[in-house]
Chains A and B, each alone.
Chain A
Amino acid sequence: MNDAIWDRLQIAATRDEASIRRAYAVQLKRIDPEAEPARFIALRHAFEQARAFARAWPDDDEAAPFDASDTDAEIAPDGPAIATEVPDRIPEPAWAPAPLVAAAPTWMADVDAIERLIWSDTPAADIRDELIARTTQILHDPAMLSIAHAAEIERWAIDIAIDGMPRSDALLILAADHFDWVATAERWDCPPRIREVMKRYWDIGWVQSLERDGRADERFDEVYALALLRDPSLPPRSGPAAMVAALLGVIRRHHPTALHDVSPAAVTAWDAYLTRRDARWYRRAGRWLLSLSPAAWYDRRQPGTQAILARIWQYLVWTIGGAAFLFLCLVLIAIGPIGWVAAYNMMSHRSGYRS
């Protein structure tokens, strides 16, 4: 620990938070925070450092120092450690516990039942209705009006939504709407656990939109590929391979949790097939040709920025190559009849009409 901090507070190094606070208060009264902001900033910095030092565990290196001021106490990313920590620091007030929460423990039964459902072997489709009913009950329990209880339930819902994925999807959607996680996710300081839950939320929406738009022409490829990935009994084949490869790319890149919604066996089979397909000599040659493009070179220096240039190059390669091929065919076809005519002419010259 930096000595300057203790010099600023004018006390010897200590882990006693009360004396750190007292020292800070004494020093604060010696300055006028508004007239001397720089001195205040230095003092405040020393105070916060000292407090962080005091709050860190003295001998146990594994336990991270806990600083209430920048940790999310209500939706803690890793709940239990903090839940036990806070009451230690702040003595319980003399108030009686919330009567509403104590009087109506029906939600407890629902919580237990949901946990049992999620970890049971019953197929996901069969637990859905009960899951929805019980979650709705929990969320509309009068006890939810108390913010302490609501925070507890929110934390529980996040945990079960992540750990029970995808069986807990129905709960996730209800909870996300109830706690307005969509709005939370729009904030820069969205807790990582909620961001994780919301990734799943949006992926569910994406898969559902594919299911809904089943007959829309512009999404036919994706819908068809999804159907193939869901049915392990259909063996991979070359016809739809490009569509499946594209969909797998989109899933892995943008909707990773949607892998829960396809058949793992089918994905493995298709992956193996696509690897084999990519290893064929003409595909390798094609890739080599593409790698020569200036766009690909630029892309290596500036990943991801030059996708459009790469497209243009690809287009050029195919059109110029295609044009050259067509030209060759034309030449061959054209040479055929011309040759015949020429031969015929020569023959006829030789035999002559000169009679």
Chain B
Amino acid sequence: MIVGIDLGTTNSAVACFRNGAPELIPNALGELLTPSAVSLADDGQLLVGRPARDRQSTHPAQTATVFKRLMGTGRTTQLGRHTYLPEDLSALVLASLKRDAEAYLGAAVTHAVITVPAYFNDRQRKATRRAGEIAGFTVDRLINEPTAAALAYGIHDRQDREPFLVFDLGGGTFDVSVVEVFDGVVEVRASAGDNRLGGEDFNDVVMRLARETIDPADGLAGGARADRFEAVWRAAAERCRRTLSEAEEALFRIVWDGKEHVATLTAHAFEAAAEPLLHRLRDPVLRSLRDGGLRSDSLSDIVLVGGATRMPIVRRAVTRLFGRFPNASLHPDHAVALGAAVQAGLKARDAALEEVRLTDVCPFTLGVAAADHDTFGNLHHDVFVPIIERNSVVPLSRSHGFQTIVDRQTKIQFQIYQGEARRASDNVLLDTVEVVVPPRPAGEVRADVRFSYDASGLLEVDVTIPITQQTFQRVVSEGDGDADTLDARRSALAALKIHPREAAPNAAAMARAERCYESFLGDQRERIGQMVMAFQAVLDRQEPHAIADLRRELEAMLDAMEGERFL
């Protein structure tokens, strides 16, 4: 069985394709979304998902979130004695989803289609693929998130569709795709995005606004507890921002050092402060339309995906951009995972999808650095020469000829870049290929460079020297992804103690109670404290029925105190 996984910045989800339709798989808590969070519990076990998210504000040093933003950077996070690469943390989330899927489907799940933001670059994609492999999956395919959403949207009624635009603003990334559906072919025409724009950035805005009222002098945070302070603020900002999605005004409330601090934020002030972020939504939209060869008024629909599009200020911005209302009929949190499951079904050649095909594009330009003469005869180095232009349909293969520039040149070095800047070194360097050429006068030796790009984004480069009939071939490096290190990291991860799945609801209730304990005062805090003690007692006595009863009671109490809860 192949599953489709949406590995998000804030939430992840897993789905499978069964009985002719994609279907979301619930986790151990019975929920369809699993927060992308990992936390080290006091007993040395690793918690993944909601309990980990709840521990963010109580145990920030032992908890990791938003690690998707670090993918491809090699920056490590320390939890307890271990350090983790971002792909290790993602692998823990993926492994947890894998267990959920196996429990739900009652069979081993070994293959997966994983989504990545369309605007993830090559390094970030490779890191994601590695994460899947460390988690024990064979990653059949990486699929772009807006493409997945478009697939879910495009095939649900099997109708032809004029070009429409998928607008995906998630927790950490923003993607736009222009897609068209004809005769069962879902064709992505162009994608663009900003891989550092999402709900998290809007939280920063809320925090900044609240700080102006509550703590203008920045005096509350006490040195060693800075990360705790940050986590408490962030949690409060998230809650406040979600309230602003429903109301014109919201309370930003934190409890710090036994004291309550509140600030009132209006939707208006929030919108004004978020203006620079909203402005950044424009450019990717514009670029995807240009590359797709479309005018904004010829789009048949604007489909919203991603949790952050629930914010009214984002919807208003979209309405202004296009001069009409967007379509919010797709479930913003589920669409991507469902689309990934459809892709998994395609991959497994599911009979229900026989008449469906998907073609995607590569959203970046790929090329090499070269030297070039200008009209005055000056030689310029570091000029980016595109070989595969962005938004070409993949898989594809393109070649370009180059010549030597100096007499008796004996080698040519091709630096392979991904990006859009005219100066090559401003782009992302993927690899370097060096070829040996016979020494001849300048310009007499030719080298043909061929780039072949496959549907998952794997790039193969070959360079042919016609004079010598020689060919040099190179699969653009996988970084530290070779089999040995991957195996080593897989076993290192397997050796970690993961909190048992059956006990997940208890861990989740406990983590939540602890968080609430910290964020309430007086009577309420006391009541939570007593309840937690009672719950701990039944947990220690291991009485399944009593545990379940008390947990339900505890959750009902917290629901009443906290109002709507969110992940």
Give the shortest distance, in Å, between B127 (CB) and chain A (any CB): 22
Do residues B293 and A68 form an inter-chain contact, with CB atoms below 8 A? yes
Q: Identify the closest chain B residue to A23 (Cβ).
A: B183
User: How does the 8 Å CB contact mask read for B344-387 relative to A, with 1 for contact and 0 for none?
Assistant: 00010100001101010000010100000100111100001010
A266 part of interface (Cβ distance < 8 Å):
no
Do residues A41 and B397 form an inter-chain contact, with CB atoms below 8 A? yes
Bound: A179/B347 CA distance, A:
43
Which residue in A40, A186, A303 is a CB contact (below 8 Å) of B377? Answer: A303
Q: A21-B182, A25-B184, A305-B379 are in contact. Are A73 and B293 (CB under 8 A)?
A: yes
On chain A, the residues within 8 Å of B184 by CB distance are 25, 29
Bound: A71/B190 CA distance, A:
13
Which residue in B290, B295, B455 is a CB contact (below 8 Å) of A86? Answer: B295
Q: Identify the closest chain A residue to B421 (Cβ).
A: A186
B338 part of interface (Cβ distance < 8 Å):
no
Which residue in B297, B373, B376 is a CB contact (below 8 Å) of A95? Answer: B297
Give the shortest distance, in Å, between A313 (CB) and chain B (any CB): 18
Give the shortest distance, in Å, between B143 (CB) and chain A (any CB): 11
B215 part of interface (Cβ distance < 8 Å):
no
Do residues B282 and A304 form an inter-chain contact, with CB atoms below 8 A? no
Do residues A190 and B354 form an inter-chain contact, with CB atoms below 8 A? no
Q: Identify the closest chain A residue to B385 (Cβ).
A: A188
B487 part of interface (Cβ distance < 8 Å):
no
Task: Identify the interface centre among A21, A151, A188: most chain B CB within 10 Å of its CB.
Answer: A188
Bound: A41/B141 CA distance, A:
19
User: How does the 8 Å CB contact mask read for B183-202 relative to A, with 1 for contact and 0 for none?
Assistant: 11100010000000000000
On chain B, the residues within 8 Å of A44 by CB distance are 359, 393, 396
Q: Identify the closest chain A residue to B389 (Cβ).
A: A189
A239 part of interface (Cβ distance < 8 Å):
no
Within 8 A of B (CB), among A171-187: 185-187
User: How does the 8 Å CB contact mask read for A4-47 relative to B, with 1 for contact and 0 for none?
Assistant: 00000000000000000110111011001110010011001000
B235-243, B318-326, B465-473, B494-502 - interface stretch: B318-326
A98-106, A219-227, A268-276 - interface stretch: A98-106
A354 part of interface (Cβ distance < 8 Å):
no
Bound: A67/B291 CA distance, A:
12
Which residue in A73, A100, A304 is a CB contact (below 8 Å) of B376? Answer: A304
Do residues A148 and B297 form an inter-chain contact, with CB atoms below 8 A? yes
Do residues A21 and B397 form an inter-chain contact, with CB atoms below 8 A? no
Do residues A145 and B294 form an inter-chain contact, with CB atoms below 8 A? no
Do residues B185 and A73 form an inter-chain contact, with CB atoms below 8 A? no
Bound: A50/B454 CA distance, A:
23
Q: Identify the closest chain B residue to A96 (Cβ).
A: B324
Do residues A101 and B323 form an inter-chain contact, with CB atoms below 8 A? yes
Give the shortest distance, in Å, between B358 (CB) and chain A (any CB): 8
Give the shortest distance, in Å, between A299 (CB) and chain B (any CB): 9
B411 part of interface (Cβ distance < 8 Å):
no
Bound: A22/B183 CA distance, A:
7
Q: A29-B357, A147-B289 are in contact. Are A304 and B373 (CB under 8 A)?
A: yes
A159 part of interface (Cβ distance < 8 Å):
no
Bound: A98/B293 CA distance, A:
20
Give the shortest distance, in Å, between B226 (CB) and chain A (any CB): 35
Give the shortest distance, in Å, between A208 (CB) and chain B (any CB): 24
B109 part of interface (Cβ distance < 8 Å):
no
On chain A, the residues within 8 Å of B26 by CB distance are none
Do residues B323 and A97 form an inter-chain contact, with CB atoms below 8 A? yes
Do residues A25 and B357 form an inter-chain contact, with CB atoms below 8 A? yes
On chain A, the residues within 8 Å of B393 by CB distance are 44
Do residues B395 and A33 form an inter-chain contact, with CB atoms below 8 A? yes
B300 part of interface (Cβ distance < 8 Å):
yes
Q: Identify the closest chain A residue to B365 (Cβ).
A: A188
Do residues B289 and A74 form an inter-chain contact, with CB atoms below 8 A? yes
Which residue in B185, B292, B349, B367 is a CB contact (below 8 Å) of A28? Answer: B185
On chain B, the residues within 8 Å of A147 by CB distance are 282, 285-286, 289, 296, 321-322
Q: Identify the closest chain A residue to B141 (Cβ).
A: A34
Do residues A90 and B357 form an inter-chain contact, with CB atoms below 8 A? no
Q: A41-B397, A100-B320 are in contact. Are A25 and B299 (CB under 8 A)?
A: no
Which residue in A24, A37, A70, A93 is a CB contact (below 8 Å) of B299? Answer: A93
Do residues A97 and B297 form an inter-chain contact, with CB atoms below 8 A? yes
A92 part of interface (Cβ distance < 8 Å):
yes
Give the shortest distance, in Å, between A154 (CB) and chain B (any CB): 10
Which residue in A26, A28, A41, A188 is a CB contact (below 8 Å) of B395? Answer: A41
Do residues A21 and B183 form an inter-chain contact, with CB atoms below 8 A? yes
B426 part of interface (Cβ distance < 8 Å):
yes
A146 part of interface (Cβ distance < 8 Å):
yes
Do residues A41 and B396 form an inter-chain contact, with CB atoms below 8 A? yes
Give the shortest distance, in Å, between A61 (CB) and chain B (any CB): 23
Bound: A189/B320 CA distance, A:
28
B457 part of interface (Cβ distance < 8 Å):
no
On chain A, the residues within 8 Å of B293 by CB distance are 67-71, 73, 86
Give the shortest distance, in Å, between B141 (CB) and chain A (any CB): 7
B19 part of interface (Cβ distance < 8 Å):
no
Within 8 A of B (CB), among A112-164: 145-149, 151
Do residues B365 and A33 form an inter-chain contact, with CB atoms below 8 A? no
Do residues B323 and A99 form an inter-chain contact, with CB atoms below 8 A? yes
B163 part of interface (Cβ distance < 8 Å):
yes
User: How does the 8 Å CB contact mask read for B392-408 relative to A, with 1 for contact and 0 for none?
Assistant: 01011100000000000
Q: Identify the closest chain A residue to B185 (Cβ).
A: A25
Q: Identify the closest chain A residue to B189 (Cβ).
A: A69
Do residues A186 and B294 form an inter-chain contact, with CB atoms below 8 A? no
Bound: A86/B297 CA distance, A:
11
Which residue in A93, A97, A149, A186 is a CB contact (below 8 Å) of B300? Answer: A93
Q: Identify the closest chain B residue to A73 (Cβ).
A: B293
Bound: A305/B115 CA distance, A:
49
A75 part of interface (Cβ distance < 8 Å):
yes
On chain B, the residues within 8 Å of A98 by CB distance are 297, 322-324
A253 part of interface (Cβ distance < 8 Å):
yes
Which residue in B298, B300, B357, B420 is a CB contact (below 8 Å) of A188? Answer: B420
A91 part of interface (Cβ distance < 8 Å):
yes
B225 part of interface (Cβ distance < 8 Å):
no
A87 part of interface (Cβ distance < 8 Å):
yes
Do residues A146 and B397 form an inter-chain contact, with CB atoms below 8 A? no
Do residues A148 and B295 form an inter-chain contact, with CB atoms below 8 A? yes
Bound: A99/B452 CA distance, A:
46
B527 part of interface (Cβ distance < 8 Å):
no
Give the shortest distance, in Å, between B49 (CB) and chain A (any CB): 32
Which residue in A21, A95, A145, A187 is a CB contact (below 8 Å) of B324? Answer: A95
Do residues A73 and B295 form an inter-chain contact, with CB atoms below 8 A? yes
A213 part of interface (Cβ distance < 8 Å):
no
On chain B, the residues within 8 Å of A74 by CB distance are 286, 289-290, 295
On chain A, the residues within 8 Å of B324 by CB distance are 95-96, 98
Bound: A342/B141 CA distance, A:
103
Task: Identify the interface centre among B163, B286, B323, B349: most chain A CB within 10 Å of its CB.
Answer: B323
B162 part of interface (Cβ distance < 8 Å):
yes
Give the shortest distance, in Å, between A99 (CB) and chain B (any CB): 7
Do residues B355 and A148 form an inter-chain contact, with CB atoms below 8 A? no
On chain A, the residues within 8 Å of B397 by CB distance are 37, 41
New contact pairs (4) apart from A69-B292, A93-B298, A188-B421, CB-CB < 8 Å: A25-B357, A147-B322, A186-B421, A186-B426
Please name the 3 residue pairs, one residue from A and one from B, whose CB atoms are nearest each other, closest first. Answer: A98-B323, A68-B293, A304-B377
Can you identify 24 A-B contacts, CB atoms within 8 angstroms? A24-B185, A41-B395, A41-B396, A68-B293, A69-B292, A69-B293, A73-B289, A73-B290, A74-B286, A86-B298, A91-B162, A93-B297, A93-B300, A97-B297, A97-B323, A145-B320, A147-B285, A147-B289, A147-B322, A148-B297, A187-B421, A188-B420, A189-B389, A303-B377
